[in-house]
Amino acid sequence: MHDSLLVTIRHFIALNEAEEDLVRQLFVPETLPKGGYFLRPGEVSRKVGFVLQGVFHNFQSRDGQELTYYFGREQEFIGDYESFLPAQPAQHGIQALEEARLLSITHDNLQRFYREVRAGERFGRLMAEALFVDVLRQLTSFYEDTPEQRYARFMRIYPDLQQRVPQYYIASYVGVRPQSLSRIRGRATL
């Protein structure tokens, strides 16, 4: 069950056998039904997850409309660091769009991972850097790209999600109304 997590961690840092055993101990299995919440808006985020199976969307409700900020899928980490790190109520929610299996780690256990894995803090820094770059790219795209360019970017990043998630989540991520998505799809250069 932890093999794909270990492969992902080893992509960034080396692990010895004792550290692999610690990872297996600190990351606990969790399942969520379709529509289940990894984090509800207003709750304090107390864990980070590694997705083994399923798709999640990170969203915020505004004026009665859900705005999707990112998707998390297999072999990716999900969480709300804006809530997790300072232990403040989350503005966003994270919801399973399919039945999901994941491995989650609590804040305290993540601190233990950083302390007890030789390059644990380095792993955390590299993950934070990758997340930071991704957020900047998405923010820049929202201000500089046309909806067609944002849709093309979505298809490059998430080519498998077109058939896995409802179109209104994709439209929300791209920043258009659902009825505009089919028109944009036809004009997007993939």
User: What CATH number is associated with residue 7?
Assistant: 2.60.120.10
Give the other-Cβ count within 10 Å of 75's Cβ.
13
> Strand, coil or helix: what is 133?
helix
Cβ-contact 34, 99 below 8 angstroms: yes
> In the predicted model, what is the mean pLDDT of residues 122-142?
89
| Across 113-127, average pLDDT | 95
Q: What is the pLDDT of residue 131?
A: 85
Pick from 143, 31, 43: nearest CA to 92: 43
pLDDT band at 175 (very low <50, low <70, confident <90, very high): confident
Domain presence at residue 141: no
The predicted model scores a pTM of 0.91
Residues of the domain holding 51: 3-119
- Let me know if residue 53 belongs to a domain: yes
Residue 16: the pLDDT is: 97
Greater pLDDT, 162 or 119? 119
- pLDDT-based confidence at 176, cuts 50/70/90? confident
Confidence label for 147 from pLDDT (cuts 50, 70 and 90):
confident
The reply to whether 67 falls in a domain is yes
Is 145 contained in some domain? no
Residue 165 domain-assigned?
no
The band of 141, judged by pLDDT with boundaries at 50, 70 and 90, is confident
pLDDT-above-90 percentage for the chain:
66
Query: What pLDDT was estimated at residue 87?
Result: 94
Higher-confidence residue of 122 and 187: namely 122
Q: How many domains does the chain have?
A: 1
The answer to whether residue 84 is domain-embedded is yes
Neighbours of 190 (CB within 10 A): 11
**Which strand (E) or helix (H) includes residue 184?**
helix 178-187
**Does the pLDDT of residue 5 top 90, yes or no?**
yes
34-59 pLDDT per residue, tens: 999 999 999 999 999 999 999 999 99
Question: Is residue 190 pLDDT above 70, yes or no?
Answer: no
Residue 67 in this model has a pLDDT that exceeds 80: yes
Does 142 reside within a domain?
A: no
> Residues near 62 by Cβ (< 8 Å), separated by ≥ 6?
none
46 within some domain = yes
Assign 187 a pLDDT band (cuts: 50, 70, 90).
low
